[in-house]
Structure 1
Amino acid sequence: MNSATTQINRVLIRAPKETVWNTLVKTDEALPFFFGAVCETSDGMRADVNYRMVSANRKVAMVVGRVLRFEPPDVYSHTFRMTNIDEPPVTVTYTLTEKDGGTEFELRIDDLVPGSKLAKEMVSSQGFIAKNLKSLCETGRPAFSGRMVGWLGPVFTRFAGKSQAIANWPI
């Protein structure tokens, strides 16, 4: 039997901690480092609320979960379940630490089931998230990969399954 594992990714962002934090927790616009998703919560961004990541046109729910910890500007943690993958959720924790004139961004994923579809998606996405958050905080623009996702996002939502319709995933 496979046991759950942890995956950690760290990157130094040459920006103040508050800039990184405020960018990471935005809920009012599409976030290129989260594949163009808009983060919505049931009652503001804080611990013990449900959230979902939805397409920019707000027709498709891509991710759902619950905020576990929200300690500005240091730690943000939540459960994470992709709506198109029928597997147990993982826990995602973002930790920000002032370091070397910038901010160390740590993305930790716990409870990954080795070999699962969700684990493969999550591990392969860590670099994209870190690279695009770093670029956005340092330059005001996402990396090229984040811009591409922004341009192609409307196309991708057309291929979402009916089960991913936002109405099926209330917060």
Structure 2
Amino acid sequence: MSQNKTKSVHKIFIAAPIDKVWQQLTKTDGLQAQFFNARLDTPGLEQGAAIRMRTGKNGKYTSVVGEVLEFDPPYTYSHSFKFTSLDDPYCKVTYKLKEVDGGTEFTLINEDMPVATKTAKYMEQGVPFILNTLKGVVEHGKPPFKYQLMLFMIGALSFTVPSKCKSEHWPL
């Protein structure tokens, strides 16, 4: 990895079976609270398939685009990643799940994030939200209260999303 790119590794224990965590992580039939209430849109979760994270009413906006790089249920899901609102280059996100005593160890790895970019900043700021919301949803059926408030605010401010993020500009 070059010196102008970064990598970060984050782990959390989730008191639930690996299959339950995997199901939430890869669901395509509804909003994923851990991904800021986006819906995963893809023709199929397999290597090479496009992914789009759609937000807003009826998926009006696309917040993230990428391509599946690795898909090995229920252990590894990796994809390229680009915020549609930014002109930064793609990076890589990998989710690793491991069965451990009493639940699942969930690891989130961000790689090839260009240093000092908004993408790197946003991804690092988003990690606690993603980890704690996923844990809350899987263990209790809902995110922790402070993240519920954040999701409410994200929805309330959806009118501020730039027009270049409209899903019509980001087809599968």
Normalising by the residue count of structure 1, what TM-score does the alignment of the two structures yield? 0.94
One-letter code of the match for 1:77? S
- Tell me how far apart the structure 1 counterparts of residues 38 and 72 of structure 2 sit (CA, whole Å): 22
**Is the partner of 1:24 in helix, strand or coil?**
helix
Pairing 1:14-25 to 2, within 5 Å after superposition: 14-25=15-26
Specify the code of the residue in structure 1 equivalent to 2:7. Answer: T
Contact 1:51 1:66 in 2 (8 A): yes
Deviation (angstroms), 1:33: 0.6
Q: Percent identity?
A: 35
- SS of the residue 2:157 aligns to: helix
Residue pairs, 1:4-153, within 5 angstroms: 4-41=5-42, 43-57=43-57, 58-153=59-154
Distance 1:87 1:49 in 2: 21
The Cα shift of 1:15 comes to 0.3
Following TM superposition, where does structure 1 have runs of at least 4 consecutive aligned residues deviating by more than 3 angstroms?
Answer: none
Q: Secondary structure at the match of 1:73?
A: coil
CA contact (8 A) 1:2 1:113 kept: no
- Would the alpha carbon gap of residues 146 and 30 (structure 1) be closer, same or farther in structure 2, given more than 3 Å must change? farther
Q: Is the 8 A contact 1:95 1:107 kept in 2?
A: yes
Which letter maps to 1:93?
A: T
TM-score normalised by L of structure 2: 0.94
CA contact (8 A) 2:56 2:158 kept: no
> In structure 2, the residue corresponding to 1:76 is in which secondary structure?
strand
* Letter of the structure 2 residue corresponding to residue 31 of structure 1: Q
Q: Structure 1 residues 154 and 127, CA, compared in 2 at 3 Å: closer, same or farther?
A: closer
SS at match of 2:89: coil
Tell me the amino acid that sits aligned with residue 129 of structure 2: F
Query: Is the 8 Å Cα contact of residues 32 and 146 (structure 1) preserved in structure 2?
Result: no
What is the aligned length? 170
**Code of the aligned partner of 2:46:** R
User: In the aligned structure 1, how far is the partner of 2:35 from the partner of 2:150?
Assistant: 9
Q: 5+ residue gaps in structure 2?
A: none
Root mean square deviation of aligned Cα: 1.3
